[in-house]
A and B are shown apart, each in its own frame.
Chain A
Amino acid sequence: MTDTVPVARLGRVAHRYGQSIALDDLTLDIPAGRMIGVIGPDGVGKSTLLALVAGVRIIQTGTVHVLGGDMADPTVRTALVGRIAYMPQGLGRNLYPTLSVLENIDFHGRLFGQDAAERQRRIDELLTATGLAPFKERPAAKLSGGMKQKLSLCCALIHDPDLLILDEPTTGVDPLSRRQFWDLIDTIRARRPGMSVIVATAYVEEAERFDWLIAMDDGKAIATGTAAELRAKAGEASLDEAFVALLPETKRNQHHKVVLRPQPFTDDPTPAIEAEGLTRSFGDFVAVDHVSFRIARAEIFGFLGSNGCGKSTTMKMLTGLLPASSGTAKLFGQQLAADDMETRQRVGYMSQSFSLYSELTVLENLQLHARLYHLPKAEVPGRIAELLSRFDLADVADARPESLPLGIRQRLQLAVAVLHRPAILILDEPTSGVDPIARDAFWRILIDLSRDDGVTIFLSTHFMNEAERCDCISFMHAGRVLAVGAPQDLVRERGSASLEAAFISYLEQATGTVRDAPGDPVPASVPPQSVERARPLRRFDRGRLWACSRREAMELLRDPIRLGFAFFAPLLLMLAFGFGISFDVENLRFAAFDQDNSLESRQLIESFSSSRYFDERSPIRSATELEARLKSGELQLAIEIPPSFGRDLQAGRVPGLSIALDGAMPFRAETTRGYVTGLATQYAQRIAAAHASSSHAPTAVSVETRFRYNQAFKSANAMVPSVIMLMLILIPAIMSAIAVVREKETGSIANFRSTPISKFEFLFGKQLPYIAVAMVSFVLLTILAGLVFDVPIKGSAWLLTLASLLYVASTTGFGQLISSFTRTQVSAVFATAILSIIPAVNFSGLMVPVASLSGGGRLIGLALPPAWYQPVSVGVFTKALGFAELWPNLVVLAGFFLLFLILAQLALNKQEA
């Protein structure tokens, strides 16, 4: 079936990220019903093109029509995304790592409104077809790279799309899984011949199997057509070379073919690296299982295998980064020991991802390493200059690595790794993601190092043409070495046509015993899919909302740190706040400097020491001692009684009484002063009453103070209800703020962008579990208030529960609002903490009653939910207030909930900028 109408038409599309141009005035018609390959190195705009066609990115300029609809029109787009499936770049980026295989697919099925029976049928079918059925209970995080990609594909295919968009689906996947993946795609296309598939890939050799190709460079399509057409146009035999030939002349000129030279002869028989039965397990998972090999001096040794097969773990053990569980590793015949600084001097290591300091410049990175390896000072400038020129880094010496292309960054990493002239280089996927020209340049350096400087190089790679350049290679799978030998020997041994075929045959042999041939995933019994046309999509669907809530809850329950924070933190903080924010001033340490030592002075001291507010210490003997003890903080109050205090008092001469108190903490001092004045006055009045002749008759007026709501005048009674207010904003807001940002960070937000789920369903669905969690904390906090702080609820518990429900609905909404404009989890956490703590502590009645506030503070307080919930919490707990007094607060809280929900929807974009 060949449609004449293109599946996608792009008209003068341009796209830029800040200064860099991703797509440059691209006009392109993509034919329908075929398998389209988009080829080209990293960073030429492939992903942007795919994202625009999938409708997950906002179109900046130009027009994009997909399946006959204009993607700029929101209603058209919403209707279309139900017919498009999009699989973003990266291994399992649209998967939820803690969810099992089954749960992941199930979630996607729910997003498309399928009922339980339909989901069951489709999931069974997809799992059988992909050979994932035996692993359906396994969490996505524990799948191998190839399995992750198959699972991603299952998720994409659950709704029978008309257009399937795959962004580099096989990067980092072993050749066997790659072949299985493409076979799977072919099978699916055979069943649904009308389906168009657009695939981006960095493996140019893969492109041979596509029907039609788009070769891209610098945001432009440099050629389109079938593989044969492209080869013919360039006049080259292989597509890889054809691609280079099609590049503009300036780029092509940088390219030189890689020439292998023979290995130099050494007479030292000790191997550079020797691994014997090397094993490493993590818990019950054996990552590396009895791996043995020898690498001769100056040899280039290649390690091939899929992601997660144990390559990196083996390399880390050889660098001493990771201790082996069993087995031995020897470098130059010496056993590797942890903390062995000598061997570290002889090894250079390059880890899989870029691992230099992106905040330091190229030069600074080199200098840092030179110093840490203790190169003689005089040598450093010369050595760095040499490396800068040899690795062609002189022009970028003052640039920061983050601004450089991947190819240059990898050269820098290599320069750093060889800086201290190691005898061994261990390179973990040094060319992953690097374009062909830069890769060849990299290899020329490696060959020079090996042949000219006699450096032993141990590297891992996914590229077969790189493997062919190695002196010796080793195939690895599931922690085991399958074969070791020179590439041509291995090909000969298996009788295969190519190295790739040889590897696949080893893999099939190894896996064939473990599970039944997954290479033939097409059960003949599966009938061509009946064409159930996509059901009309509803604007609101309870099923989608529920799918979102369910998934969020499952993820939360499987994350110990977030779960601990949700349940444990409120209780811990309540204890801290309840005990910490106390305005009870008691046990003040005081001592008297009694220079009189009369009956009266002793009575005076007695009146202090018998009060529960004061705690008497040993008497003071001199003025200097008084000074010193106040200074050290040992005393908070010092009473100085003058020598003739008693006599003066008897004689009615009004003696002075001097009291010094520690003003370091003003609140405490102020309260202390109140106590002191009260006690001294009482004492004086008693004395006065005792003197009949006195004219100081006690006043007849009494002021009776009634402490209402909190007769015992205990801090806890007042603080605990307010602290509940604080806890129910701080924790739920942070939790819900993380919920959205996390998906932005991990990439699963792509599912929100590429499926029909609405903003409301997404936001409210995610909010529900957090409301539930917050209500559980509310109950726990209330219990804690009663048990530990002895603050029971005086009023209606139901009213308090209702108000709390409205309150946490608004505070979780507040968190989501913040998360709609923050980009990283850490900024979401701190922004939410600051934005909620300041108003909740200062302007919501916790410290100062709202009625005492004026101006800005009062406005800030009243503009957020805590100031409205605090009166309810305090009112129900201590004042036994009811609905009649509190209903306005409930109405306002409900209003906040709605307001935040609406604002968050406005702030959250369904498409990426």
Chain B
Amino acid sequence: MKRLAIHVSNILQLALKELRSIRADPVMFVLVAYTFSIAVYTVATGANLEARDLTIGIVDEDRSDFSRSLLGVFGPPLFKTVTLITPAEIESEMNAGRLVFVLEIPPRFQADVQTGRQTGLQLNVDATAMTQAGNGSIYIQQIIAQEITNLLAGREATSTLPINLVTRARFNPNLDSSWFSSVMQILNNVTLLTIVLTGAALIREREQGTVEHLLVMPVTPVEIMLAKMMANSLVILVAAALSLVLVVEWLLGVPIAGSLSLFILGAAIYTFSVAALGILLGTIATTMGQFGLLAIPVFVVLQLLSGSATPMESMPVWLQWTMRIFTPTPHFVVFSQAVLYRGAGLDVVWSELLFLATIGASYFAIALMRFRKVIFG
């Protein structure tokens, strides 16, 4: 019991020291503040994957009132420019990537439609523009169908289908991408900064030789490691919670459906496992430069293959399993999405938390092994 008290006291003292070190490093502080505020905001409001600002060209061989009217319906924000081109230009414009869509309207199109003769439009799509090609062509088809219906009915027509289809997007009714990207950016920051902060804290001790000093004192490697992980995780968790409340909920107006404290609990378990990973990398690299070289690929893999960038289901099955078994990030992404967007409770997400804890414990065990081996020589 007394030993336990000593362990706890040592960990707290060392963690306090870590916090002081972080405070004394203004660069790290600015980095944390920046990534959790400005970066989250810019990513949420800036880059997005919605189909918008499309570039479309129209080859008008009909030259009817209808074909001319089509020029007017492709407007912002969905479309950036509508260009009238000749058939000969299709190839070069699409090759150069200046136009992603080219709609060809054949001669006598309006007349054919009005007399009920079979006719067709051709839509050329540059399928190398993946974010735009698929959804963009669906939108264009819908717009054209609506216009043709209008043309035939002479007025705004209602649905001609025998079914009244109502699709509702749950948890994000307007499919606003900032809801998604802002929260995912926070998750990415948690991953990146936990690795960098914890790893750098160890490398700094190794470079300055202070770790040697720690080891001659009556403290154990486990205490040193836990203190580092706790202190750095704490900073990240506070920053993430503030960012979620202030930037995401308040500034960007994204509703948080679930319990913030549940999210923090999950994030704490997650940072524990990623901090262990940071320590592990810190034992492999001997200088900050080497640490950077190691950390970047690790981070990119963790992020891109976690389901926080694009749907997990579209990855090959073997890769999905590899990521789920060996890395904690996919579980954290699933957990966060369930809690923050869908308001899921502990009854729903407990299994993901269990996964996180198990993977975290294995990371910790490996890191501790390396830590003892490398630092003790």
CB contacts (< 8 Å) of A685 on chain B: these are: 161
* Contact code string A458-487 (vs B, CB < 8 Å = 1, else 0): 000000000000000000000000000000
Q: Would you call B165 and A849 a contact (CB within 8 A)?
A: no
Q: Is A263 an interface residue (CB 8 A)?
A: no
Q: Is B65 an interface residue (CB 8 A)?
A: no
CB contacts (< 8 Å) of B80 on chain A: these are: 851-852, 854
* Contact code string A320-340 (vs B, CB < 8 Å = 1, else 0): 111100000000000000110
Whole-angstrom distance between the alpha carbons of A577 and B302 in the complex?
Answer: 11
Q: Would you call B305 and A579 a contact (CB within 8 A)?
A: yes
Q: Would you call B130 and A719 a contact (CB within 8 A)?
A: yes
* Contact code string A805-845 (vs B, CB < 8 Å = 1, else 0): 00000000000000000001110111001000000001001
Q: Would you call A630 and B342 a contact (CB within 8 A)?
A: yes
Q: Would you call A708 and B162 a contact (CB within 8 A)?
A: no
Among the 9-residue stretches A98-106, A213-221, A654-662, the one with 4 or more Cβ atoms under 8 Å from chain B is: A654-662
Whole-angstrom distance between the alpha carbons of A572 and B113 in the complex?
Answer: 54
CB contacts (< 8 Å) of A400 on chain B: these are: 24
Q: Would you call B165 and A848 a contact (CB within 8 A)?
A: no
Q: Considering the complex, give the chain A residue whose CB is closest to the CB of B257.
A: A631
Q: Is B301 an interface residue (CB 8 A)?
A: yes
Q: Would you call A699 and B148 a contact (CB within 8 A)?
A: yes
Q: Would you call A356 and B55 a contact (CB within 8 A)?
A: no
CB contacts (< 8 Å) of A734 on chain B: these are: 292-293, 296
Given contacts A561-B293, A661-B170, contact A688 B134 (CB under 8 A): no
Q: Is A580 an interface residue (CB 8 A)?
A: yes
Q: Is A20 an interface residue (CB 8 A)?
A: no
Q: Is A573 an interface residue (CB 8 A)?
A: yes
Q: Is A767 an interface residue (CB 8 A)?
A: no
Whole-angstrom distance between the alpha carbons of A706 and B59 in the complex?
Answer: 15
CB contacts (< 8 Å) of A673 on chain B: these are: 167, 169, 175
The listed residue (B165, B176, B219) touching A680 by CB distance below 8 A is B165
The listed residue (B120, B180, B218, B292) touching A825 by CB distance below 8 A is B292
Q: Would you call A670 and B51 a contact (CB within 8 A)?
A: yes
The listed residue (B49, B51, B219, B337) touching A664 by CB distance below 8 A is B337
Q: Is A421 an interface residue (CB 8 A)?
A: no
Q: Is B171 an interface residue (CB 8 A)?
A: yes
Whole-angstrom distance between the alpha carbons of A828 and B290 in the complex?
Answer: 11
Q: Is B88 an interface residue (CB 8 A)?
A: no
Q: Would you call A663 and B344 a contact (CB within 8 A)?
A: no
Q: Would you call B210 and A561 a contact (CB within 8 A)?
A: no
Among the 9-residue stretches A38-46, A167-175, A364-372, the one with 4 or more Cβ atoms under 8 Å from chain B is: A364-372
Q: Is B125 an interface residue (CB 8 A)?
A: yes
Q: Considering the complex, give the chain A residue whose CB is closest to the CB of B16.
A: A368
Given contacts A660-B168, A708-B94, contact A717 B53 (CB under 8 A): no
Q: Considering the complex, give the chain B residue whose CB is closest to the CB of A877.
A: B128
Whole-angstrom distance between the alpha carbons of A371 and B223 in the complex?
Answer: 14
Contact residues, A568-590 vs B (CB, 8 A): 569, 572-573, 576-577, 579-589
* Contact code string B345-356 (vs A, CB < 8 Å = 1, else 0): 000100000000
Q: Would you call B296 and A829 a contact (CB within 8 A)?
A: yes
Q: Is A887 an interface residue (CB 8 A)?
A: no
* Contact code string B76-104 (vs A, CB < 8 Å = 1, else 0): 00001000000000001011111110000
Q: Would you call B167 and A585 a contact (CB within 8 A)?
A: no
Whole-angstrom distance between the alpha carbons of A775 and B350 in the complex?
Answer: 48
A871 to chain B, nearest CB (A): 6
Size of interface on B: residues with Cβ below 8 Å to A: 127
* Contact code string A508-548 (vs B, CB < 8 Å = 1, else 0): 00000000000000000000000000000000000000000
Q: Would you call A582 and B135 a contact (CB within 8 A)?
A: no
CB contacts (< 8 Å) of A662 on chain B: these are: 169-171, 342
The listed residue (B13, B175, B348) touching A368 by CB distance below 8 A is B13
Q: Is B179 an interface residue (CB 8 A)?
A: yes
Whole-angstrom distance between the alpha carbons of A314 and B293 in the complex?
Answer: 34
Given contacts A356-B210, A561-B293, A826-B289, contact A585 B10 (CB under 8 A): no
The listed residue (A347, A572, A582, A709) touching B301 by CB distance below 8 A is A572
Among the 9-residue stretches B234-242, B261-269, B272-280, B308-316, the one with 4 or more Cβ atoms under 8 Å from chain A is: B308-316
Q: Is A373 an interface residue (CB 8 A)?
A: yes
The listed residue (B9, B21, B99) touching A374 by CB distance below 8 A is B9
User: Number of contacts between A and B (CB, 8 Å)?
Assistant: 398
Q: Would you call A664 and B129 a contact (CB within 8 A)?
A: no
Q: Is B156 an interface residue (CB 8 A)?
A: no
Interface residues on A, range: 35 or more
Contact residues, B1-40 vs A (CB, 8 A): 6, 9-10, 13-14, 16-17, 20-21, 23-25
The listed residue (A338, A358, A582, A658) touching B166 by CB distance below 8 A is A658
Contact residues, A344-363 vs B (CB, 8 A): 344-345, 347, 349, 351-360
Q: Would you call B13 and A699 a contact (CB within 8 A)?
A: no
* Contact code string A646-683 (vs B, CB < 8 Å = 1, else 0): 00010010111111111111111111011011101101
A633 to chain B, nearest CB (A): 5
Whole-angstrom distance between the alpha carbons of A879 and B126 in the complex?
Answer: 10
Given contacts A581-B310, A631-B342, contact A703 B10 (CB under 8 A): no
Q: Would you call B175 and A663 a contact (CB within 8 A)?
A: yes
Given contacts A357-B21, A665-B180, A825-B288, contact A321 B376 (CB under 8 A): yes
Q: Considering the complex, give the chain A residue whose CB is closest to the CB of B166.
A: A658
Given contacts A372-B217, A830-B292, contact A656 B47 (CB under 8 A): no
CB contacts (< 8 Å) of B252 on chain A: these are: none
A581 to chain B, nearest CB (A): 6
Q: Would you call B219 and A372 a contact (CB within 8 A)?
A: yes
Q: Would you call A708 and B127 a contact (CB within 8 A)?
A: yes
Q: Is B145 an interface residue (CB 8 A)?
A: yes
Q: Is B377 an interface residue (CB 8 A)?
A: yes
Whole-angstrom distance between the alpha carbons of A848 and B290 in the complex?
Answer: 33
Q: Would you call B123 and A671 a contact (CB within 8 A)?
A: no
Given contacts A349-B216, A670-B51, contact A633 B314 (CB under 8 A): no
A872 to chain B, nearest CB (A): 11
CB contacts (< 8 Å) of A610 on chain B: these are: none
Q: Would you call B209 and A354 a contact (CB within 8 A)?
A: yes
The listed residue (A658, A671, A701) touching B168 by CB distance below 8 A is A658
Complex A-B, nearest 4 residue pairs according to Cβ-Cβ distance, in ascending order: A825-B289, A829-B292, A580-B304, A663-B172
Q: Contacts A561-B285, A681-B165 given; 19 further ones with Cβ under 8 A?
A: A321-B215, A349-B213, A351-B212, A354-B208, A359-B25, A579-B305, A580-B310, A582-B315, A583-B310, A585-B311, A684-B163, A699-B145, A699-B148, A703-B145, A704-B121, A742-B289, A826-B292, A847-B47, A849-B129
28 CB < 8 A contacts A-B: A321-B376, A353-B208, A355-B213, A561-B293, A573-B301, A580-B304, A585-B311, A632-B342, A633-B337, A659-B167, A661-B170, A662-B169, A663-B171, A663-B341, A664-B172, A667-B49, A699-B148, A699-B152, A704-B120, A708-B94, A710-B127, A710-B133, A711-B127, A734-B296, A738-B289, A824-B289, A825-B288, A854-B53
